[in-house]
Structure 1
């Protein structure tokens, strides 16, 4: 039996007991024939015979001890059981699993029992828990500001605090003290941080945050982790069926039957939904006051910036306080929000620095001079002062126990180092060779590392490694981590890792990077996707280019499912790495994929056709020489980028048909379905509606056979794309009921589970239907919804369609002046942003019609001629048909034999286009316009 808090009460006695229990269990890992412990913990009052001075005699009595004993009896071997009373005291720090109510001998009512799983991953708490901390000084104003901000948060007044400070200023210590203060008041604290290699580990803080929020321990298997995610997401609502596999996939957990749901989401849709889930979790958890701390934003990867911005947005109007730390120079858009306040950590005052040094060294008269020198040299930086003292103790300038040093013989010799980096470097130089080697190897691995990985890499027996790690921890260069699966260590301060890494020769580091990369492949075998960027970084640093490129490609595919911009960076890295590599099948395959994805993803992120053309040409060249399997997809990309950037629709048709000709009937069924969807789109833009519908039908027949690779390459649901295209084709063919069914199917899908561009199509289709029906209410309803989607996603592509549809809706309602305004705005915005260029002929044709109905014949003729010219250049036969009818009408109204002759020719061309395209929706327009053409004008010569 062990007592915590008797005979003298101790603050945090329950946490100390849990820490002891976890350490004991760690000391006896499960092994055949090995010792296993059963531990029971309970918190309550005891009657103690002990006095403060008689700790080794006497005893303690009471029901508290009996209850703990009963818990020990029901615990599993290797398990620790705690009571509800104990759980109440440690719930902000420890992860537990409820074991339900248990009837225990000697207690009248069943009691709720929990299994202690481990400490929550609390970054700041791990960093300082168990360390030899000096008194917390010089930060009273800052801690008071944090406490005031928390009180505001308790009243649902948003509080986001940024702590800015140079390395060693005490940002993490301030967070630790504030977190401990909160936990002492049973306020939950959730922590995450970015790491030094953040650029190589996309979403690492997001993954850490989600695991903490879902109470997933490192030791949890996929089943347990899935249950925890399911429990956390159960309150979200109707999107749970899609959210669950999405979160599981993001956290690297396989989930049965998740593929159809996940493949329906584009990268942007996935990221947006993940951020919405996080936003919901934060707001759902804000029914009680809580604190979120995210440290070291200066190392944050681009993909995780959206995560921080989401947290800032999520805490508004909640009882959750957000604390963020970073070095000076870091800036982000969210800093402009009204409820953000920044606290700059200034240097300690000379008096505070002197007090700190005296606490570290002691107050002997002979130490006063050296204390003064240290305080002055530190410049008020607490970490610098601590490192100076440690350095002097190691070089013999002072000796004895911390806080009670004696002056050494070397005290007067040599100047103090001028920078904290120099101090750390000198300390590392004085280490034993084996300790220095272990520290430098650890610096290459990362800011935190498992002992198991170190043992695989270090050329020393485990006992020597353990001894070295103990020495490095005693020197306060490293420290053990709590709350991890297995034994982990971390650098006591990021600067120590930076100096230990930078002090090594590049050739030596390269060898270590190669070994670390290979070890990580084994260690993270179950989470390779998540760590592939980091593994690629190590291989690149080692000069192993092909391995680096392979893992960078894997990282690009993984992060590309949620963040296209970050994926583009990884694909760019793959391409640049391979520039100097010799030809082989492995490098050629990676080159093709990298260049193809740079073109496709780049176009989706705003790259123009001219900017993307070199990439697609490069990929096609490589593919034609080595891997013709990729040619069809690359031709699809080439054609689509061409037409959406203002090229001819027939070019798109030709590219896709060329790709289809390379596929084998009955074998490449899925790829043929993918290309037939694209062909239906290409024919649709070209106005060849019957051909478009036929291609779409072929695609729908084989859509279930489309392989995962095609979905990943394109980045969205091919089925949603095909269904939306089918609806638009049917509208133009006058098959309105069938079209509406397609649109309703898409509208019945939860909006957050669709790509915004896919969500655009049914609303655009219903605006077209409303124009055909002359239904202003229907047109306005869907135009407004489309405008909301465009506003939410801030997409130039969507904004073009939103303006055009709003103009069409106003035209249907008879408000032609307002309609002209919106359509003109749409054309101007399209030309300014170069977005949705394929829609320009349709907008111009609609604008010409509005000018005509608004009585402005001159502008109607001018815009109609422009629409015809642009449509002919781009093979857009439907807008040409409509604009030809409009121009003919205005010419007849202008009068004259020449005008009537031209009008007759235009009507003949429109009739020809309708027969060619099947666009029967324009037949009423043409019939009405021809009524006004004089009989003589139909045969006159000009």
Structure 2
């Protein structure tokens, strides 16, 4: 029957034409197979597309592929590629059972099927033989979802296999960046570098028949969209690492990553509250005044889908009916895709059995509106459901059918919204088919008469043919503002970010939230960014960031839409840099005459923007990531060639001012491997950067220049000498910047290049080593290096270098506290200066000597030296020496107890530093002034000066100065009891110091931060102490480790296992250090912990051991507190006589020490003991003594508890009026201090039932 034929057409997979008729060409088989596909997306979109393939077959009967014109440059490029490898088995068996021609036909048919499937998903079959096939995705044009397309193609290939067929296929997919270039070989259109295809083929061979294996980054990219299962026992190793692949079972019903996300896993929704409010307002207007269309336009990744996701959540919470449709990337092959999805959702068809589908569609359609009955045949047709009762009229064909289908869809949404307001969410309209455009236009025309809100998302127009729809409300989603961008970063990284790091990521991503998320995840996964104590810091290099595959796919898709000439211009511009001018670009592109047209096309595409017109047109990449992806597409050879062109063009353009452009010239010639010019310009660039106080830039330039020196065509001795000169300059800058670990690495490399016997340069480096070791507190190591330096200098008769070493020894002795030896060394240096008439050095050497005299309290000598140094500085007119002398007097007067004189001296130094623009010296003088103002009680002035010092340090670019300023400011705030205000200062100091390496300054900063957080009651305090402990361990500071462990233990009371481990560590450390007081403190803590667990005997033992250890010390600090605790435990154990003796001793010790708080504890414990012995009168007297001590010590909460105990005793003594008075006063204190445990205890005592049972 006709209906049977229709059912077969719609549902039955036809027998391949090759099985019905022998000798059909693969091209004919492929064309027929595509025409008969059941899935609309796999069929020809219209007759003209099929006709094009047939015409090609007539012209070339051997062809069976729609022509693909490679868009790659002829010389090739680097691209992110996905390789689908298929291992084919069984053709060997067929050779024995079939004629050779039949085997060839089967092979050709298989190839045709694979090629058709691959090409339908946007890939290319690049290699085929009887035992394997390799398909590539991402070429000739990249798609954002190439990885998913490849997996879907593999699933389609597996589904197309016939049951029982002797030929089997197992597949695998991998992705990576590869070099690729087009070939002239039709059977192999692309040649790949690297091992991507081979690795995929090896992985495919490891699978079972029918397996589709995926691994690595590709697996992570497609995981939400496919179901997988692990393949036990398979480990797969490639250049990028070892993976355990998973097998793809099939597709999920997930349409987007947002749909796949679990509750609570999405990053915080920020920066779009205004747009979300506009959507909500539009819905309210729809419900009250008629429907409307809202259009949302924004670049890929800017947050259109997330905005709809948040809107959907509100709709669900409010009980609003909504349906959603999404245009497909190749949706133009199938009309009405997003609206068909919406109809299915409105009718709730996902759970309807196939046999009942037709009836349910009719009944549910009529349930929306009885007026929809006339459209039933068309709705069934749209849903590909056959129906004998509701056939589509024969006269509806072609344009008439298309118009009728559009009318049916519009009627479903308009009439269906009458019973309940409806929201239509239509995503990715930039991929919409023309039929869907017609439906939306008709819907927009009618929408105002219905309670219907239509929200359409799209990307900005890239050509005139695809203009985004314009609604009554139009929302342009711009990139996130910096504050919102930082919030996204912190959500991904899980820590606060330094300002400069956040700015770098924002600049690199252009504020695109998707780019931010993916880049931050990559930085964390690669270890480039780490977090500690709630603060993020850079651990690796940010010079060349790895661009996530997901971001590359989005950007590369945009680049591939460009015409070849515009793309080549963009590639040349990427070599120049983020910003570029017309004059330079014109010198390096293939055709300068066509450059304006190409630049206009790039501006129209939104990839670049014009930034200036005079004296020449200048341009800029809109996104730094676009620049990176474009540059990364260049092969190594192309990068060398184009950088050489740019470098030589720069030399021509700026021949009169090469120094000013030295940094750019060095970078380009270095990338071009023109080593002589790279080194020359690198040294110039480093000198210029240092002269401008851009020390970070100078250091990085010197590092790059050292790498270029290695490649010079010069004798090894000459190269080594150049390296020594570069390293000496680099080491000086690193010292100034406070980068101690890197400074030490530079010195180590210098000593390697200058072995023993290398001459006076080795002595200079050893002096630098001694000075650095002194700064780090390694006085013994410093002395070894400096003694060797003196020996070398004396052997060579190098007096200047010997005095350098003696001066450094004087400084080392001063820092180590060996003042007499320091005076001897520094006196020798001063006498040398006088003898040599080294007037330029003498004032500072006098100051160095005077500092040591100050430490010894030899005030007259120190003053005399200061006056001599200042007089010499004045005579010489040297403002720097005048500043040093004034600063010296400031510290001297402060030490002598003359704060006003000290303040005046520091003020003179401040003025001098300002006048000659010495921000580093200015910072230290401001910090000294702030500290003095604090000493003098001028608190507000002090805060202002600290703020000025910090901002001045920030401008210097010196990390150590800024960290020191912030730490000193934090210390001052802590001194006046403001831990909350100190925390951000300490946090920034720690963040600055972390990338510089582990040293004492960082350990101090994290310790200060931990202490401030602990005092402020922050939950993060324990983690801060844990970080401090690790840093102290790294430095070998056992005492510091012990302090950190003790503090952390006090904050881990809710984690018994962790607490026990910390106590064990602390006890071991205290024992190893012989620190009796610390051991007693720890045992006291162990006793308290055991008591809380109810282990009273264990608590008593720990208290006894702690007391015994403290009795070994002279001052016996804390013994009274330990005895209080032991006595209380003995009371609970019923050992009253022992408790009495212990508590009497505790009381005597605390009274003798004048410790009111601990004395009050003694009386409280004695009162509890008397109460246990039913001696109410004595208990009352003891609690009264406790109350007196609490009041004298100002302990209001303790006072309240003492009153509460007196109320309890009065109740037991039968004195209810007195009890009520005590209890009322205690309750008033509880409310005043907001101490809820005391208030609850008072309330319980006030209850008659409870009072009678109170003990």
TM range (shorter): 0.3 to 0.5
TM-score normalised per structure 1:
0.35
TM-score normalised per structure 2:
0.27
Which one has the largest radius of gyration? Answer: 2
The one of the two structures with greater contact order (alpha-carbon pairs below 8 A, sep at least 6) is 1
